[in-house]
Structures are given as C-alpha cells and as structure tokens.
Chains A and B, each alone.
Chain A
Amino acid sequence: MIRHSLYILLRRITRDKVLYFIILTNLAVGFAAFIVLSTFISDQFNYDKQNTKYDRIYRLQLFMDQKENTIKHTWSVTAALSRKDLVDLPEIEKIALIHDVGDNNKSGVFLSVDKKNQFLTRFGYFADQSVFDIFTFRFIEGDQANALVHPFSIVLSKAVADRLFPGGNALGKQVYGENKVVFNVTGVYEDIPVKTSWRPVFILPMLSYKAITGNQDYESNYWSYAFYTYVLLKPNTGSASVDTKIYNALKDYRKEHHPYLRPMSKLYIDPYFENSTYVIIGLISFLSALILILSSINFINLQTANATTRFREIGIKKTLGFNKKRLWKQFMTESVLLTFIAAITGLFLAQLAIPALNNMLGGETFSRTFDNWKLLVVIFVVTLVTGLLSGLHPAYIISSYNPVAALKQKFITEKTNGISLKKTLVTIQFSISIFMLIVGFIIYRQTQFMLKKDLGFNSETVMFSNIVTDQKGSLEPLRQKLLQHPEIKNMSVSDYIPFILPGGDDLNWEGGKPDEKVFVRISNVNYDLVPTFGLKMLDGRNFSREFPADRNKCLINETATKVFGWKDPVGRRIKVYNMDYEVIGVVKDYVVFSVYSPNEPHLYRLAKDSIMNNGVYAVNFVGGQEKNAMEIVKTEFQNFFPNDAFEFRNMQVLTQNENALRAWKGFSKIMTLTAIITIIISSIGLFGLILFLTQRKMKEVGIRRVLGFSHSSLYMTLSSEFIRLIFISVLLAWPAAYYVYRVLPAGANKYDLQIWEFVFATLLILIVAVGTISYQIIKALCVRLVDILKDE
C-alpha cells in the first residue's frame, strides 16, 4: 500500500510540478522556520550542558530582602560564606571559590610572554583547584588534577594559549600578568563552548589571590560581596537543606540577606526568578508553532483543492472495490509522505540558512540541528503529527466521494452547517498572519526604541580605558597635555563609569527609619566625570576645584532622592562606610548599565585629584575626530604611564553591546525573519486557496458573464467573502497582539504602542489577499466563455 501510494505520489509530482512545488515549498519553508526557531529555543535550555555533573552543580546566590532595592538578587557573594559556612555541610561534595582577575567588567588584564607584546585579556578568574572537579574541562596539556595547586600557576584556554604561544607547547612556559607577576603555565584546556554561563579564558590559583591582590582577610570577610561560589552537591541531595543552613549561619551578619543555591539548569535562563526569558522563549515557541500551523493549513487547503483533480482515481478505485478505509489510508500515507519530504527539505534548508542567519544575527544564535538528536526526535514527531493532522481533512473528503459522481468528474460540494471548515481555516490563516506581522512590528519598534533611547549621557564622543598602575602623583600634567590638543575636550578618572557597574553598600539615610536600609551603588569620581560624560545636574552643583572642602561632599542621582523621599536633597547628609557626607548636587538619572534594568540609587564621592591605581580614564573628544583623538590619547597616555598597558575603546562598544540590548537586537532580527516567512507562507496559502475557490467558481463566473454581469460586479462577488473573513480575523488577531505587547518584558522602557502598527500589518495582509484574488479573478475572466460552459 505504501509503495502504491508512493508511486502515485511521485508520478503526480512529476506531472504537476508547479502545484507540488507550491505545496512542498509552503511546507518546507514552514518546517525550516520551525526548525531554526526550535534550535534557538532548544539552545536556551542547553546552556552549560557540556558539564557532565550538570545536575549536581549549583551557584551560590543572594536574595537581598530589602524592599527599596530594585535589584534583589546577586551572585556576587562573600568568600567567607564558602570558606567558613559551606565547608562542613554534609550535602556538599566540592566547593569552588572564584574571583575576577582584574575587573572583567571594566577591562581585564594584560598578558604577555616577553613583557612587550601585551594583550588585553578579559574573563580570567582566580579559582580553587576544585573547579576542575565541578565543571567539565577538557585538558589538552598538563595535569588537570594538579593544575591549580601551586602558587603562581596559570591554566590557559586554547584561544589564549594559541595567542601567547603560537607554536603550541605552552606547558611549563612563563606568562607575565600586567608585567608585574610571573605565572607558570600548568595546563591548557579546550575553549569553553559559547553557550556556557561561566567561561574563563584563563584561570589562576585562588591560593595566590592574597599575594597578588593584597587582600589579606578575604576568607573571613563577610562584607565584601565580590566572589563567586559554585558547589557540587553529593548525588541525590537537594539544595533546600543547604539553603536553610547557610541562611542560619549568615543571619548574624545580615539577616535580610538570604543565600541560596541556584541549580545550573537555571543559571542562564532564569537566574533570579524572573519571567522575562520565559516570556521571550514562550513567544518564540508560540510563533514557531504558528508558522507550522499556518503552513499546515495551507497544506490542507492545497491538498483538498488538489483532490478535485483525482476524481477518476477515486471513482475507479471505489468501483473496483477499494473501501473507504483503504482510500483514507492511501491519502493519509500520501499526506505523511509529503510532510516528511517537506520536513527533510526544511531540515536541509535550515542547515543552509543557519550559518547565514548567524552571520546576520551575530555570534552563534543558532546552532546546527544535526548535533542535537533530541531536537531531531522532536522534529520527527512534529512532522508525523503535522502529516496526520493535515491529511485528516483532505483524506476524509476524498475517501467520501460518491464513486458515480466522482467518475462524472463533478465538483462535490462540501456539506456546510453554518460555519464551514474551509472558512474557519481561512480565518485562522488570516488571523495568524496578521498577528505575526503585528508582533513583528511591536518587537522591531521596541528594539528601535531601546537602541535610540537617550542614555542620559554622552556615549558617542567618549573613549575609555581601565589602567592598573603602581604610579603615584598628580594627574594634572596629563590633563593639561591632553587639553592642549583641540580634538580633546575633557578627561576624567573614576573607579566606575556608566555601563561599568560599581558595587555599593546598604545605607541608611537622613529621615529614614533607623533600621531601614537600601542598597546604594557607590563610585569615586574626580571633578571631571560629570562634564566628560555630559551628565546633567538636576539640582545643586558638580564637584569643583574651586571648593577645597568638596572631599566631604557627595553627589547622588535622581533615583536616590526618590528612594530617600527627599524633596530638597542639597545639604542633606548621608553616612557611607562610617563617614559623613553632605549632598551638594543631584545627577539626572542616566542609563547606568542596561536599558532593560530599573534605575538604582547612586552616590558619587570625590576621589583625590591624582592617579588612581585602578581607575577608568575617560576622554571626551570632538565629534568626527575619533581617529586623531585616539592617536593623541594613545601617545599621551603612553608617555604618562610608560610602564603600564592599556587599550582605549569607544564608549559605544559598551553601550551597543550590552547584553540585554544585544538580546533585543537578536530578538528583533528573529522577528523580522519570522515576519518575512509569514508573508511568504501566507501568500502561498492564499494563492492556493483562491486558486481552488475560483477554479470551483469558474462555471458560476462563466454563467454570470453570459448573463451580462460586469467584471467589477464579478470581482466584488468573488472577493467580498475574503474581505469579510479578513475583518473577522482582525477581531482575533488584534487583541492577541495587544496581549503580547502587554507581557513584553521591557521593564520601564516599553515604547508607546500605536494603532498604525496594527493597521499597517492588516493592510499588508489585505494587499496580499486582494492581489492574489485579483490575479485569479482576472484569470477567470480571461478564459473563453465557451471553454468554461462546455466543460460538464
């Protein structure tokens, strides 16, 4: 039977190439889109999966139960927790304490083999030897079991090792860090896959942390929230009991801080109990399902239409004694076969498209499907279900033909009881198309809104670099030299700048309840941060060289005044690290780190007007002079800091590549792609559908023409029904699209919805529909009357 169906199918395909090309393209494009989006979704759940102990790995996080805080969770924790409180817990098998080398947020560290060719390396970490027991590393060189047990050893990723030692054989060689410390290479590991939440490019032993950073008491310090801790639980152990025990241990220090373990499976997708990632993933899954439904509906319509060309086959088979069930089976088999052909084509289309899409979307948004057998199983099942469901209606229609009528090649009119299946399918089709296009617009507009959002500071003509130095003394000579160049407008130094997020402390404020505290981010800045970044003062004044007493003064941001409830902030006092500061000015809120996250209170203290040993230097240059400015800055800083390595970058490197924004950009591109595919599939569907209906109505059109109906009245007769269905679809699609807008996780930065997005998407579908209808109607009108009427 399958052989028989296959023969008939293949012969029909070779005979009616155009129709089958349309049928298969429709399904294959649908499948390709579904597969591409599925790989994306599947990837979201496959982060960190290269770790063999994935199920037992947890990260220590902190819930800060302070109601004024806008950000309540962090995975920056104290070292003391893991060194003192976690060590004796029976549930825990291994603990690894980790700390940034340098500040990965700011820049990183410079590595070299010869103290000359230094290069900036971001994302190096100090870590305990136990990281190798917890995470899965693949060593190329060296002994994994002892790689971090000796002081001043360094383990390199292959990428860094290749850069430092292009000839290979890094093991045992020496590496300079910032030209100050010498490390001995004890291992090289394969680069960690991109889709990993913790990706060190090199690792230093935690036991050298003290010696390198001078931070002597870190292991007993319960106040420095700067470390990361990962644990490996024993098999079959839950994290809940550990959470209780560490909370009890910590509450003597800060009862409002709740440490807890977050399983590795959540680290990427949902680190902080927020639904934003799920909303996006849910939406993409929903859209990919809709695309598949859309092409399945097209398939159903086209197959049903196609069935009218098979009257003879059905008539004969029925006459010869094939029963309904066997014919039904034949057409179901055909449907499933066609679906599989389309799915396999779609699979290959997707493989061809993925590199191009990755190119377009940047990075590794989509990974290859063939590496993901689970996804292949899903695709197989979805294909089978699609084939069966799509075949159901055409097979039922076909196998129910009355043999006598079928042999006479008469069109068999579908029984209708009010709402016909065909009309329902068409309405669903229009609804999905309109919905997808509107959602595409919404996401696009939201992304543009975020991209173009006024960050509140100058990010276009500022360059920055983090410089770690032992040098001391005034910065004034450097400043004066730079300002001599007309290309340079200003220079500032601070420990943090916009988009490099500082830490902070829980502070009490004047007028607040004595036990009420709120987390305030604190940075130390010089006189020139405000003008260099073009920050605006809402109230009071900036620090000034003309006021020598400014050392005890501070600036706060707009959000801080709101959180503190201060109407007249200037002159108020606030205690930071046991020092009293007087507020002299309020900085207008600017986007601190992410257009996505809410604003937090900030406080700025005046730093000494001298070289900072770990400062971020920012230079404001004249617009259009970036190249010259870069040269000048390079030369002047080189002369001023002859012993230190640095690398200036444009601020836009930070602002445009910030994670949330990047995610939105990717999301927007995915949506654009989805919208284009929707239009293609809808057009194919409409084409097939209208082809079928006008084919049926040929005779009616002919008779009407004989009776003298004008072309325009015929046009109205044939198209009015579609137009009506489109309006019903609007009633379904618009509210659904509005709902998507409502749940979109854009935080405080949601753009204002506009009606024209809805109208435009609907018009687009209307144009496609009317275009296709017109084409078919004109075709029907051009056929010679005698040819239509003699056919019976």
Chain B
Amino acid sequence: MVETTALHEVNFKVSKGEFVAIMGPSGCGKSTLINILGLLDNSDSGGYYFEGIDVSGFGEKERTNLRKGNIGFIFQSFNLIDELTIFENVELPLLAMKVPMLKRKARVEEILDQMRIGHRRSHFPRQLSGGQQQRAAIARALITSPKLILADEPTGNLDSSNGEQVMQLLEEMNASGTTIIMVTHSINHAERAHRIVNLFDGHLVIERSEKVFESINRVV
C-alpha cells in the first residue's frame, strides 16, 4: 500500500468569532482538514489546539465527549437520518447530551421556529425540499449553541436562492459570536467569510484576509 499524505504542514489559527472559508480543488485535503478540526479524525503528526488544549492525542471517547455540544456540523448532503422526523433529527444532539425531555422539546421548538421550519416538524426528510432539509441540518448544528460550526460545502446541493438563505443564516450565526469554518467551491460564498484559506495538494497556499481587519474593526 502506498501511503498518501492528505495534509502537509498546514498551520493556521482560527480565532473565536471568526468566519473562515476553505477553498481548493478536489482532493486537496479539505475534507481531511474538516474531519481533523471536527475531531472525527486524528492527524498523524502535528498538533491541534482546541480552546488552547492539545487534542491531537485524544482517543475516540475523549474526542466524542469534546465534540458533543461544542462542535456543530453542516454537510453538503444534509445527512439527515431518513427514519427520523425533522423534530427528531434536530433533537439528536440534545439526546446525545442527555438533556431532559421537556427541556429538549422546548429548545427544539424554539430553533425550528427560528429556522422557519416549525410547520415541518413531524415530516420526514425526504418530504422536504433541499433548502428546508439544509435549514433543518443547520438547526441541528445550532441546537447546542456550539462554539464552532464546521460547514462542508453547505450550499453545494442547493439552488442559488436556497444557497443564499443558508449563507445569510451562517452570517447571522457568526454575528452572534459562533466561530464558523466553511468549505466551499463558490468564490462568491467564500468572499463573504472574514478570511479564505486556499489548499492545494495538502499544502496551505495562500491566506486572503482583506476582510479580517474590517471585521475586527467591526467587532471592536
């Protein structure tokens, strides 16, 4: 078997409250990066500091515990569970955190209304449009009020108007203080982030950060 290296010497820092877009051609290592950042995978070498703690040596159990409630995921293919209703899908992270039922219910209702899909709560994913499914997936990512949201081509499967809605939601989340890292192929969407990280063949190529100062100024 030939060993391949997905990422090599990728060093970058994402500050609290940042909105970072990651770009690059297919196979450049974007997904691997997202998986490492999302604690789904470990890097073979190097370190990963999450809130100042090196988590690169964490085992599966510790990673699961850290992920729970701290990191929200949004996928291109939504990844809603077919057998669960929208309500139950959105409820899942709270179930993982063993939040009591009444609290869970109230929180799910709140977030569904916020995402404007409350009326679809007892439908199954395949009964919804793509935009609605992605809003449900975002609701699921937001329900625990995570510190970090990882969005892997969130608009990839959506038409432009639905994609625009999703981008607006991400911006709103970011405005309320959530850190967002988004993989995208769309330069338009990437430019709405504070900073763009370009990957090529596992290497960090260029970091465009015109907006960084702007946004820092805005926050300050």
Contacts and interface: CB of A to CB of B under 8 A. Distances in A.
Given A312-B82, A320-B67, A322-B92, 9 more contacts: A4-B88, A12-B83, A316-B80, A317-B96, A321-B96, A321-B97, A322-B95, A322-B96, A323-B64
Size category of the B interface is: 20 to 34
B140 to A, nearest CB: 7
Interface in A303-338: 312-313, 315-324, 326
B165 interface: no
Contacts of A320: 67-68, 73, 92-93, 96, 140
Interface in B11-44: 35, 38, 40-41
Interface residues of A, number: 22
Interface string A274-291: 000000000000000000
A313 B96 contact: no
Contacts of B64: 318, 321-324
Interface of A: 4, 7-8, 11-12, 15, 312-313, 315-324, 326, 403-404, 407
Nearest to B97: A321
Contacts of B140: 320
B61 A316 contact: no
- Residue of A11, A321, A323, A404 with most chain B CB atoms under a 10 A cut-off: A321
Nearest to A315: B79
Contacts of B175: none
Contacts of A318: 40, 64
Contacts of A319: 38, 40, 67, 73, 79
B69 interface: yes
Interface in B72-114: 73, 75, 79-84, 88, 92-93, 95-97
Interface of B: 35, 38, 40-41, 60-61, 64-65, 67-69, 73, 75, 79-84, 88, 92-93, 95-97, 140
B75 A321 contact: no
Nearest to A11: B83
A403 B88 CA distance: 20
Contacts of A407: 75, 79
A8 B85 CA distance: 10
B178 to A, nearest CB: 17
13 contacts: A4-B95, A12-B83, A15-B82, A312-B82, A317-B96, A320-B68, A320-B92, A320-B96, A321-B96, A322-B64, A322-B95, A323-B61, A407-B75
B40 A317 contact: no
Contacts of B96: 317, 320-322, 326
B92 A316 contact: yes
Contacts of B60: 324
A604 to B, nearest CB: 81
Contacts of B92: 316-317, 320, 322
Nearest to B66: A321
Contacts of B81: 8, 312-313, 316-317
A8 B84 contact: yes
Question: 10 closest A-B pairs (Cβ-Cβ)?
Answer: A321-B68, A321-B96, A11-B83, A320-B93, A322-B96, A8-B83, A323-B64, A313-B81, A321-B67, A404-B40
A324 B97 CA distance: 14
A481 to B, nearest CB: 87
Nearest to B88: A7
Given A312-B81, A320-B92, A320-B93, A404 B35 contact: yes
Contacts of A321: 64-65, 67-69, 93, 96-97
Contacts of B80: 316
A653 to B, nearest CB: 63
Contacts of A323: 61, 64-65
A15 B83 contact: yes
B90 to A, nearest CB: 11
B65 A316 contact: no
A321 B83 CA distance: 19
B68 to A, nearest CB: 3
A7 B83 contact: yes
Nearest to B93: A320
B190 to A, nearest CB: 23
Given A316-B92, A320-B96, A321-B97, A403 B83 contact: no
A495 B110 CA distance: 97
A779 B106 CA distance: 50
Contacts of A326: 96
Contacts of B97: 321
Nearest to A322: B96
Contacts of B67: 319-321
A631 to B, nearest CB: 75
B73 to A, nearest CB: 5
Nearest to B61: A323
- Residue of A12, A15, A320 with most chain B CB atoms under a 10 A cut-off: A320
A323 B64 CA distance: 6
A413 B79 CA distance: 22
A11 B95 CA distance: 19
Contacts of B82: 15, 312-313
A15 B79 CA distance: 18
B41 to A, nearest CB: 6
A404 B79 CA distance: 12
Contacts of B38: 319
A11 B81 CA distance: 11
Contacts of A322: 64, 92, 95-96
Nearest to B96: A321
Nearest to B152: A407
